[in-house]
Structure 1
Amino acid sequence: MSDPVRGAWLGVPGWLWLWGFTAASLALFAARMARYLKVLAAARSERRWDQWPRRLRLFVVNVFGQRRLLDEPLIGTAHLIIFWAFLIYATTFGWALLRGLFPFLPVPYPDGVAWIRAALEVFALIGLAALAVAALRRYVFPPPALERSRDATLILILIAAVLISSLVGIRTASEVVRTRAWWTHMAVVLGFLAYLPYSKHMHLLASPFGVFFGSLNPGWMPAPSDGASQREQFTWRQLFNGLACAECGRCDRACPSVTSGMPLSPKALIRQIRDLVREAAPAAGLVPARVTPAQIWACATCAACSQVCPVFNEHLPVIIEARRMLVARGVIEARLQETLTNFARYGNSFGTSPRSRAKWTQSLEFRIKDARKEPIEYLWFVGDYASFDPRLQAATRAAARLFQRAGLDFGILYDAEQNSGNDARRIGEEGLFEMLREKNLTAFGKAAFKKIVTADPHAYHALKNEYFNGQRPPVLHSSELLADLLGQGRLPLNPGPETTATYHDPCYLGRYNNIYRPPRSVIETLGLRLSEMPRSGPRSFCCGAGGGRIWMEDAPGLAQRPAEIRVREAAQTGASLLVVACPKDLVMFQDAVKTAGLEDRLAVRDLAELVEERLRPEGSA
């Protein structure tokens, strides 16, 4: 087997040509990478070096195992094969390059080792098959939001050329053909390396780092700031999203705003971040020149985009930074501004006197303890909608009666309770969140309790993750508490009709806090037949209320509201009950079944109300 670099071309030794090609490739590669590193170094700092063991586990599972991609089994498997073929060929290329650059080394080329040659042949064949699957998906059966870009086509051709040139070199008996195949292989790979930082396939280099430096806390908020639009105002990790993005479109396919016809596209947002990073001296910032305020305000902060992103991009921090800037500049809908004013003036979104917060308790047959005056075990953080909205007060009273029947030692803060501030923070009003948080913490400090319970997933997330610095009391969602009380037999039930029900996972309970089982446990204990929607659990489809959207006007040209899409999906399961565990869900879905014309087919019910309906009367056997 002859050495491909031993010959000469135009009187210049082959190994010297290889040195020249390698130097040119690395120079182009390094020049663009140096620019990226300079841009990231000039951005705001952000700590992402903590919890290395956990980050390494995520890296192994999601880079080497491609876990998120495998949620779409066919294309995920094809991508996994392409990834491993790429990894193996990159390793053997490095070996072959060193051997070619230093021909005096006493080691063979990788294809001169029998078992390596066999492995390369196998991975070339299955890699080409996987590329064919990827090409069919992109050009023949493309899913929504997957574009037919020239860049993607070129990369597919380059990868195919790498595999084919290797296969030809391995299979041929001709030394001439083998030598030409070897040089073709090296030229394609070195060209690929030089081109990579200039293309969308920069994600091949950046995405492993994106996974490693991804957020370990779903729904985390960026550090307080005045907002961001210019490149240097974002953190390095927020800018890094643009380099890691594969433009696969999974975020757009999961996004309720995109599905509803709103102007937001998570993929386009990250693409604009990429352009911001790539430009030598950006003349304009992100908003409003590249992304409009309407696009920023279309987000419901459901985190579905980040949940499905295979490279762990974080769209929400970018949106929150942009919202902070827009709020500071007064670029905000009048109705949303009114809600923020209500938060500041009244401590609730309804603009109602705090003295009315506990008015719903007046029709109860018992008195709920005032947590400021009597020590209790459970502090019930009721929340705005459950307290003030007449449509929800029946469910709130049902929960109170269940707690009383179970012998729970509980109380509320009455007029001292303020809105949790979760929505104010996602709107971009960080200062208002801090004010509401401090007022609630002051009220907590005047109460003696052991645990906090709330039926509002938005409040649950804030109380559990964003309130207490250091040791915090246990925070429970009401579904967790009801499941526990039913399990202990403290809420005896009567058998009821075997109705078919489906359950909607609230974003802030499920994706944000991984609470999926307790509500289903309650539904099953009630004897209901559970029929899951296709998009359930971590893939649940948002109702569209979060991030302040519940107080905003519908975008012009809206095809249908997210809640309408969701109730139609619920009806298709054959269920007659749509069970919810979030006050905002109850409001959104009750309206949606009317506008969708599903009132005769689908009833929207709160979990606590269903439990109370099947509760055995006191004193009965």
Structure 2
Amino acid sequence: MNVFAQTEVTRETYWGISSTGFAVFYLLAAITILVFLYGVYRRFARYADGDDDPFARLDDLPNRIVAAARIALSNEKQFDRDLYGGLMHAFILWGFLTLFIATTILAVDGYVYEPIAQANFWEGDFYLAYQFVVDAMGLLFVVGIGMAIYRRYWVRNRRLWGRHTSSEDDIFIWTLFGLGVGGFLLEGLRIYATGMPDHEIVSFVGYGLALVFEALSIPLAGEPGVSLSAGIVTGENLHWLAWWSHSLLAFFFIAWIPYAKPFHMISSFANVVTRDEKAGRRLPNVPADLDATNAESIDDFTWKEMLDQDACTKCGRCSSICPAKASDRPLDPRDVILDLKRYRESLEAGGDEQPIVADGGTSVINAETMESCMACMACMDACPVEIEHLQSFTRLNRQLTDQGDVSSNMQDVFQNVMQHGNTFGDSPRNRADWAEDLEFDLTDAREERVDYLWYVGDYPSYDDRNKRVARSLAAILQEADVSFGICFEDEKYDGNDVRRVGEEFLYVELAGHHVETWEDCEFDTIVCTDPHSYNTFANEYPEVDFAEFADDPMMPFEYTDQWNDDGEIDVKHWTQVVEELVQRGKLELSGDELEYTVTYHDPCHLGRYNDEYEAPRELIEATGCDLYEMPRNRADSFCCGGGGGGLWMEFDEEPKPSEERLREALEETDAGSAVEKFVVACPMCMTMYEDGRKTGDFEDDLEIVDVAELIVEAISQRHDLDSSVETTSPTETGS
């Protein structure tokens, strides 16, 4: 008979552990917790040394925590684009949290409830439910870890490997695996050694292992000829060994958390809590103080940017989605974040200082790497822990601009904007020349009140191909019989992309000029041809503290207010405005005018930046075109390559992002090669895809058109049809 047989519906927490072992366990537990707390303190104390963040990160903290908990527990970001990865992470997270809660319940029962109530609740039905849930979720945890091991070492998913892959990744995953499997082995040995009580069948994994041990006939103390001191390996010996092995591994893991990759369990959640909902679409302003630095040292980075670095789990989702990396440009978003982290940690360990970013020489980040960024925000959209890459990238770009380490092409663009107010270097007087072929005159919004103040933009004003788009949009607004006008030569470049390559002061100059000009105009809504203009007017101009710069003699404005901080002025992309006009019946489109087979490309600044996906699609379908979606559409759209200054730079890349996108349109949409027109809603996209159409040898395969051009053609066909109906006599109609 087994002397350790158990019949009560509960179990002894420290079964088989001597009083000495009990004392040693708690000594080690205390040391572990102290090491853990010290490590966490060191981490957060380092954040306090970082620069202040310009945005409120801890306001409305309770709601932030609730929202972050929903994001974390639902694993919604992990499921995005990756069902396998989502399930894997969900199993690991839910299993880990369940085991943590189960341990907490044990502690509450043993050290809080029992001393007060002189009883425990960890028995009977509660115990049975507890054991079943712990086994079920523990099994999910092990399955999730197994999926991770399979993906990392068997499939060798390429995005999991890079220059920052290290032994800590291996230790992390195998330690979790050891904890999960070890816990079940420990449970199975306990059940077997305590006589396999009937009620323990609810612990179905542990009970199944106990049956295996029983089938192996592992001896137990109390059986004939067997004792704990006889030198025989018994179930009790194995349980003791498993208990201590599991405990020591758990102590190691807990103590290790703040010092290596496991810290992401804390930092990632903190990062989601402190995220900026407008990150990327708005960038932090720089102070008017010319002595301020951007990235001369690691301490120039804000505490949130340092938290971003610690939150990175090396999952590679940003790398796998980055169009610059896909085109073999020297940019990997993950590596930039982790390079900054590694440098920061090397300084903390006494390493030598070096330039953060520079053109050539020894620096943490190379200038060419940052020039490669298209500011498409795909990395941020893909990141499951809400790392705000563009915040750090813009800081690095600003430092390059301050140092003069900017490509000659971009310097030319800066010069053109400073001297002429546009990126082409053309005369401001020629800005409205595109309208000379119109059959009507454009209203000067500086002299006459209009409902819609139309900001045409640089490329629709000066680029021949995009001038056709501008004329199409003018014709649409005229057809809708709405009041609209432009600012002619008082319109300048919007500044969105020069800001993203680091020229903040030029951006402020442009913003000040525009808001001062608009203050003298009377209008209800600003309409933008370009999504880049739409983004910066809607999200960034209201953030500029013009009063900080107004007294600077270099700034050509005296405006000191916070522009549109109350949102009184509507700022919209033209597709949103025209969609409203169609819905109001101001534009008559029956939905059967055109019969083209088309696909549509979501511009980054309209889609990912501002969540506008439906207006362009509804307008395309309103023309009668048969719309087939690209495989990568909406938030997953692949950048054209023009953002972040890419429009003006030259790269040795293969393939060009524009060429890859056109290939995708012809080969991977459901319509395949039947696609006749590749539809865009952005002047930069138009320029990049017209170029890619030539360099990629797609000229005979499809045409690049703007949504506005489709609408104008549909309106023209509608007019021809109406004219035909009006000039046809009843006799002719009946013949």
Do the aligned partners of 1:95 and 1:109 also contact (CA within 8 Å) in 2? no
Q: 1:23 to 1:52 in 2, by over 3 A?
A: closer
More deviation, 438-447/135-144? 135-144
2:635 aligned residue (538, 542, 555) = 538
User: What residue in structure 2 maps to residue 305 of structure 1?
Assistant: 379
What secondary structure is seen at the aligned counterpart in 1 of 2:409? Answer: helix
Q: Which amino acid is 1:541 matched to?
A: F
Residue 229 of structure 1: CA displacement? Answer: 4.0
- 1:286 matched to 2:378: no
- 1:128 matched to 2:142: yes
Q: Please list, as runs of the form range in 1=range in 2, the aligned pairs for 1:417-456 lying within 5 A after superposition.
A: 417-456=491-530
Count of equivalent residues: 616
What secondary structure is seen at the aligned counterpart in 2 of 1:475? Answer: strand
Residue 287 of structure 1: CA displacement? Answer: 2.0
Q: Please list, as runs of the form range in 1=range in 2, the aligned pairs for 1:264-283 lying within 5 A after superposition.
A: 264-279=331-346, 280=348, 281-283=350-352
User: What residue in structure 2 maps to residue 197 of structure 1?
Assistant: 258
User: What residue in structure 2 maps to residue 150 of structure 1?
Assistant: 167
- 1:79 matched to 2:89: yes
More deviation, 522-531/369-378? 522-531
Alpha-carbon distance in structure 2 between the residues aligned to 1:378 and 1:57: 40
Do the aligned partners of 1:5 and 1:103 also contact (CA within 8 Å) in 2? no
Residue 459 of structure 1: CA displacement? Answer: 0.3
Structure 1 vs Structure 2 CA RMSD = 2.2
Do the aligned partners of 1:117 and 1:170 also contact (CA within 8 Å) in 2? no
2:34 aligned residue (27, 30, 45) = 27
The gaps in structure 1 that reach 5 residues or longer are: none
More deviation, 22-31/201-210? 22-31
User: What residue in structure 2 maps to residue 568 of structure 1?
Assistant: 663
Give deviations 1:232-278, integer Å, cap 9, x for gaps. Answer: 10000001111111100000011111100010111111112222343
Residue 184 of structure 1: CA displacement? Answer: 2.9
1:503 aligned residue (590, 600, 610) = 600
Q: Which amino acid is 1:538 matched to?
A: A
Q: Which amino acid is 2:631 matched to?
A: P
2:680 aligned residue (571, 577, 580) = 580
Q: Which amino acid is 1:248 matched to?
A: C
What secondary structure is seen at the aligned counterpart in 1 of 2:485? Answer: strand
Alpha-carbon distance in structure 1 between the residues aligned to 2:437 and 2:63: 51
The gaps in structure 2 that reach 5 residues or longer are: 1-10, 195-235, 288-292, 543-561, 726-735
Residue 325 of structure 1: CA displacement? Answer: 0.8
Residue 218 of structure 1: CA displacement? Answer: 3.9
Do the aligned partners of 1:6 and 1:13 also contact (CA within 8 Å) in 2? no
Q: 1:101 to 1:190 in 2, by over 3 A?
A: farther
Residue 306 of structure 1: CA displacement? Answer: 0.5
Do the aligned partners of 1:6 and 1:15 also contact (CA within 8 Å) in 2? no
Alpha-carbon distance in structure 2 between the residues aligned to 1:3 and 1:15: 11
Q: 1:590 to 1:347 in 2, by over 3 A?
A: same
Q: Which amino acid is 2:86 matched to?
A: G
TM-score of the pair, normalised by structure 1: 0.94
User: What residue in structure 2 maps to residue 160 of structure 1?
Assistant: 177
Q: Please list, as runs of the form range in 1=range in 2, the aligned pairs for 1:338-377 lying within 5 A after superposition.
A: 338-377=412-451
Residue 131 of structure 1: CA displacement? Answer: 1.8
Q: Which amino acid is 2:487 matched to?
A: L
Residue 292 of structure 1: CA displacement? Answer: 0.9
1:263 aligned residue (316, 330, 353) = 330
Alpha-carbon distance in structure 1 between the residues aligned to 2:88 and 2:256: 23
2:46 aligned residue (21, 36, 39) = 39
Alpha-carbon distance in structure 2 between the residues aligned to 1:138 and 1:77: 15
Alpha-carbon distance in structure 1 between the residues aligned to 2:254 and 2:462: 61
Q: Please list, as runs of the form range in 1=range in 2, the aligned pairs for 1:62-77 lying within 5 A after superposition.
A: 62-71=71-80, 72-77=82-87
Q: 1:400 to 1:7 in 2, by over 3 A?
A: closer
More deviation, 493-502/385-394? 493-502
User: What residue in structure 1 maps to residue 192 of structure 2?
Assistant: 173
Q: Which amino acid is 1:142 matched to?
A: R
- Name the % identity: 32
Residue 125 of structure 1: CA displacement? Answer: 1.8
Q: Which amino acid is 2:42 matched to?
A: R
Alpha-carbon distance in structure 2 between the residues aligned to 1:589 and 1:477: 20
1:549 aligned residue (646, 665, 671) = 646
Alpha-carbon distance in structure 2 between the residues aligned to 1:111 and 1:361: 83
Q: Please list, as runs of the form range in 1=range in 2, the aligned pairs for 1:114-125 lying within 5 A after superposition.
A: 114-125=128-139
Do the aligned partners of 1:92 and 1:110 also contact (CA within 8 Å) in 2? no
Q: Which amino acid is 1:578 matched to?
A: F
Do the aligned partners of 1:69 and 1:310 also contact (CA within 8 Å) in 2? yes
- 1:230 matched to 2:297: yes
Give deviations 1:206-239, integer Å, cap 9, x for gaps. Answer: 1111111111114221231531141210000001
Do the aligned partners of 1:15 and 1:101 also contact (CA within 8 Å) in 2? no
Residue 109 of structure 1: CA displacement? Answer: 9.8
What secondary structure is seen at the aligned counterpart in 1 of 2:39? Answer: helix
What secondary structure is seen at the aligned counterpart in 2 of 1:578? Answer: strand
Q: Please list, as runs of the form range in 1=range in 2, the aligned pairs for 1:99-110 lying within 5 A after superposition.
A: 105=115
Q: 1:2 to 1:608 in 2, by over 3 A?
A: closer
Residue 94 of structure 1: CA displacement? Answer: 3.7
Do the aligned partners of 1:464 and 1:475 also contact (CA within 8 Å) in 2? yes
More deviation, 194-203/525-534? 194-203
Do the aligned partners of 1:502 and 1:578 also contact (CA within 8 Å) in 2? yes
1:471 aligned residue (535, 560, 566) = 566
- 1:91 matched to 2:98: no
Alpha-carbon distance in structure 2 between the residues aligned to 1:411 and 1:254: 40
Q: Which amino acid is 1:59 matched to?
A: A
- 1:488 matched to 2:584: yes
What secondary structure is seen at the aligned counterpart in 1 of 2:177? Answer: helix
